[in-house]
Structure 1
Amino acid sequence: MTTLALYGGPPIRTRTFQPWPQSDQTELGALAGVLASRRWGGIYSGSQGEAFERALGEYLGVPHAAVVSSGTAGLMIALKALGVGAGDEVVVPAMTYVATATAVSVLGGTPVFADIDADTHTIDPASAEAAISEKTKAIIAVHLGGHPADMDRLGRIATEHSVPLVEDCAQSLGATWGGAHTGSLGQVGVFSFASTKNITAGEGGAVITHDAGLAARIASLRDHGRPLGVTGHHLELGWNLRLSEFQSSILDVQLERLDHQLTAKARGAAFLTSALSSTPGLRSVPADLAPRVTRHGRFSLAFTLDPEAFGNISISSFRTALRAEGIPVGLRDLTACPDEPIYADDTTRDYSHSRTVSCTRARAACTRLVMFGQAAGSGMLLDDSSELTDVVRAVEKIHDNCGQLREAERQRGTTPVPSGS
């Protein structure tokens, strides 16, 4: 028996993997240029924001892009531009970051939670269709972890019910479905540029669309409700959700690296998926890419853990033990959106109404997920296989010595009850 690092044994890895976010002198030069210009914000012709919007639109194959202050802001703008307001319903996956749902709630709408596909963890089209009512104003497809949702089936459902399809692409910049970029497949796509995302300026977002009329309203809503290029004529209630010139300049640089990084991350993910496939109790999510996925966005590499194969230890113990062995892995316990206090506990200050069609698979997935990569604040998927071998060794070490974790849990009184008992 080998002593786990968590209990004083030598860790598998003592040096760091590649960091995230990544930057070099190019970002510094871009920031210095904005600083010297003394035009650090605002929306104007020839701006850094305009240049990045043009570059992003060309990359994604869409004619209209608007940079905004965050992905959450982008969702709010997109939904309001589509007419979502008080009393309206929007179909949302039960497993996503809570902002997908709260963007609906802050507009006075009601998120309706649909379950996920067990293989991809993206929204299940059948569950989404079952969630549609006469109040439904939109469906949001979240490309979770960088794997595109089933845009063919969701698109047909949206068309049949005359409901717009919104793409939450916070984790999927660069992913493609049938050769087309995520974000370009629905009525509107929303991206996030927060610190863990595929390109980042610390914060930021973008809203894209093929529809010129919708694009004009999106541009207005992010700038106090005034039309693009107009300084004082405010036509509707909007917000100040603009992006700074510093952030836009960084994003323009980051976008140039994206394809190279996606290629490297695809290699890293393929190595780990293959190398860990023989470990009992671990299953990659998805086990195989959906047939129409032509590129994974590879925001993260996720596995589900079967505790029984690891001596019936808790998922929390497994993740903590991995961290102790020098492997960056997400430690946060995930919560299905319907179980967040703002939707589940009517005694909370900002309790918001929601409706749940199904959440069974989402709840089960949240209790078993192990996530590597940017989701854990690490650029490890950019490393080559000689470095990533340490991940495999650490998992095997924990599997072979899981009795130490189980005994520690027993002493703390936290040993999980075996499934089926």
Structure 2
Amino acid sequence: MNTLALLGGQPLRARPFQTWPQFDQAELDALADVLHSRRWGGIYNGSQGESFETELAAYLQVPHASVVSSGTAGLMIALRAVGVGPGDEVIVPAMTYVATATAVSLLGGTPVFVDIDPATLTISGSAAEAAISEKTKAVIAVHLGGHPADMDRMCAISRRYGLPIIEDCAQSLGAAWNSCQTGSLGNIGVFSFANTKNITAGEGGAVVTHDDKLAARIASLRDHGRPPGGANNHPQLGWNLRLGEFQSAILRVQLARLKDQLAAKARGAAYLAAELSSVPGLTSIPMPTDFDPRVTAHGWFSLAFTFNGEAFRRGNNDGLSVTAFRAALHAEGIPVQRRDLIACPDEPIYADANSRDYSSSRTASAAQARAACASVVLLGQATGSGLLFEKPEELVDVVRAVEKIHENQHLLLDEPFASTF
């Protein structure tokens, strides 16, 4: 039992944790209702899409919500709505999913990568402000992993420089800053409902705002440039980025469950953060008990730890790599992200001039983002797992697996294993 599963032993955990996405008869009934309606697309009076927009707006306490085909589509619409076009610069955190940056590039703009706060993995206000130039058109604040960015600082930057703040809330539905939901704090908020997100229909997204004029432009841009309200003329260029009725119906059911699911994940995350942070080499980012008091709710898309290989070393060895640690943890039956994270400015489309779709970008600062990408371990929905919903009697296996790896670290440092992960 003490032999690491990666080295041929028995996995510590044989049965699976809870899965993600989760569903029950309510989703099946909702899908059947749409099927029998024979109206499977379009946003119209009484549609599932319109109803979901109303319910989401009420949850977020914003007056306007438009459902769209994906979070990436939502980012493109939001950027276009605030006037981003060819030659414009948009400030983007260097640690985020690449779509935050490619949405800028696809409109002909230039993403300007700025560093993160290593304590939260979210955009650094000082780094963002230092990167502003005469070409800057907007700033995107990403609430990574469900942890809100410092929106006080972001909104202060917006007021000082007259720049719109777009919130990338793909991973943060349910998170709140000073009791205000993420997405409701900047000029525009963008949500994703892809497979791993806090509510999901496989794909889908939403764009929300307080601004009446922006709302009208957003609704038009997602529907071929038609004015809201059903007119059949097209005064502006737009896309067909609408969301289908089946997805909207599922999302209505999922939204109704969100409060209870967030509470369950908060309990699971608090337990794991406390237990795993006592293991040398692992540090929660941040500990739930150390949250900034302005973080009044967390989205718990993922639970993040930094891994310090120096605590997993012997003699003059360089220490265990984070890649080897994650592989060993996965082998013990613990769902954990397997792929190495890449800072956005190091993605081939921005770093490799020989890449087929090489795109213009500017990196103002990224040292902290690169260090985080090289050391972060993620648990939870980021791995497609419902692990955080589990109770402590199940989650203790995660702790035991980490302790097992720590006790056998010297075996992972020996050749040939150290060079094969």
| TM superposition score normalised by structure 1 | 0.97
- Structure 1's unaligned 5+ residue stretches are 417-421
Please give the alpha-carbon distance, in whole angstroms, between the structure 1 residues aligned to 2:264 and 2:417: 42
Aligned counterparts of 2:413 and 2:227: Cα–Cα separation in 1 = 61
Per-residue CA shift, 1:84-112, capped at 9, x if unaligned? 00000000000000000000000000000
Q: CA deviation at 1:415?
A: 8.5
**Cα distance between partner residues in 1 of 2:197 and 2:59:** 17
Deviation at 1:413, TM superposition (A): 6.7
User: 1:114·1:359 contact (CA, 8 Å) conserved in 2?
Assistant: yes
Q: How does 1:200-211 map to 2 (within 5 A)?
A: 200-211=200-211
1:380 and 2:387 are equivalent in the alignment: yes
How big is the shift at 1:308? 1.1
- Distance (Å, rounded) in 1 between the aligned partners of 2:15 and 2:64: 44
Give CA-to-partner distance per residue, 1:3-39, whole Å, 9 cap, x none: 1011121211101111100100000000000000000
Matches within 5 A, 1:351-362: 351-362=358-369
| Structure 2: runs of 5+ lacking an equivalent | 314-318
**Secondary structure, in 3 states, of the residue corresponding to 1:20?**
coil
Alpha-carbon separation, structure 2, partners of 1:190 and 1:290: 23
Match of 1:419 in 2: none
Q: Would you say how many aligned residue pairs link Structure 1 and Structure 2?
A: 414
Instruction: Tell me the distance in 1 between the aligned counterparts of 2:85 and 2:175.
Output: 30
- Residue in 2 aligned with 1:310? 312
User: Which of 412, 416, 420 matches 1:411?
Assistant: 416
**Counterpart amino acid of residue 197 in structure 2:** K
In 2, distance between residues paired with 1:178 and 1:291?
8
Which amino acid in structure 1 is aligned with residue 179 of structure 2? G
Matches within 5 A, 1:382-397: 382-397=389-404
**Would you say 1:321 and 2:328 are equivalent positions?**
yes
CA offsets 1:181-236 (integer angstroms, 9 cap, x no match): 00000000000000000000000000000001100000000000111123420011
- Secondary structure, aligned partner of 1:362: helix
Query: What is the aligned counterpart of 2:349 among 338, 342, 346?
Result: 342
Distance in 1, Cα, partners of 2:16 & 2:420 = 31
CA contact (8 A) 2:324 2:418 kept: no
Aligned position for 1:296: 298
Q: Which runs of 4+ in 1 moved over 3 A?
A: none
SS in 2 for 1:92: strand
Greater Cα offset, 211-220 or 311-320:
311-320
In the TM superposition, what is the alpha-carbon distance from 1:332 to its structure 2 partner? 1.1
- Mapped contact 1:313–1:415 kept (Cα < 8 A): no
> Residues of 1 paired with 2:332 and 2:418: CA distance?
24
SS of the equivalent of 2:233 reads coil
Percent identity over paired residues? 69
Distance 1:157 1:291 in 2: 21
Structure 2 SS opposite 1:372: strand
Worse-matched range after superposition: 250-259 or 223-232: 223-232
TM-score normalised over the length of structure 2: 0.97
Per-residue CA shift, 1:110-148, capped at 9, x if unaligned?
A: 000010001001000000001111111100000000000
Q: Which residue identity lines up with residue 390 of structure 1 in the other structure?
A: D
Alignment partner, residue 224 of structure 2: 224
Query: 1:291 offset after TM fit, Å?
Result: 2.1
SS in 1 for 2:400: helix
* C-alpha distance in structure 1 between counterparts of 2:44 and 2:185, whole Å: 29
CA distance in 2, matches of 1:47, 1:415: 53
Deviations 1:45-77 (A, max 9, x none): 111000000000000000000000000000000
- For residue 116 of structure 1, what is the aligned residue in structure 2? 116
Residue matched to 1:237:
237
1:276 deviation in Å? Answer: 1.1
CA distance in 2, matches of 1:62, 1:413: 52
**Is the Cα contact below 8 Å between 1:89 and 1:111 reproduced in 2?**
yes
How far is the alpha carbon of 1:171 from its aligned partner? 0.2
The 5-angstrom pairing of residues 17-32 of structure 1 reads 17-32=17-32
Which whole-Å CA distance do the structure 1 matches of 2:418 and 2:302 have between them?
32
The letter of the residue matching 1:132 is I
Instruction: Kindly state the Cα deviation for residue 43 of structure 1 after the two structures are TM-superposed.
Output: 1.7
Question: Is the partner of 2:419 in helix, strand or coil?
Answer: coil
**SS of corresponding position for 1:86:** coil
Contact (CA 8 Å) 1:57, 1:65: kept in 2 or not?
yes
- 1:127 pairs with 2:127: yes
Instruction: Give the 5 Å matches for 1:18-417.
Output: 18-287=18-287, 288-311=290-313, 312-407=319-414, 410-411=415-416, 414=419
SS at match of 2:140: strand
Question: 1:406, 1:415 within 8 Å by CA — same for their partners in 2?
Answer: no
Name the amino acid aligned to 1:299.
F
CA distance in 1, matches of 2:161, 2:219: 27
Could you tell me whether the CA contact under 8 Å between 2:89 and 2:110 is conserved in 1?
Answer: yes
- Give the residue type in structure 1 aligned to 2:307: L
2: CA distance, partners of 1:334 / 1:290 = 26
1:2: how far off?
2.4
Contact conserved, 2:309 with 2:322, CA < 8 A, in 1?
A: yes
- Report the secondary structure of 2:91's partner residue: strand
One-letter identity of the residue aligned with 2:365: S
Distance in 2 (CA, whole Å) between partners of 1:291 and 1:314 is 34
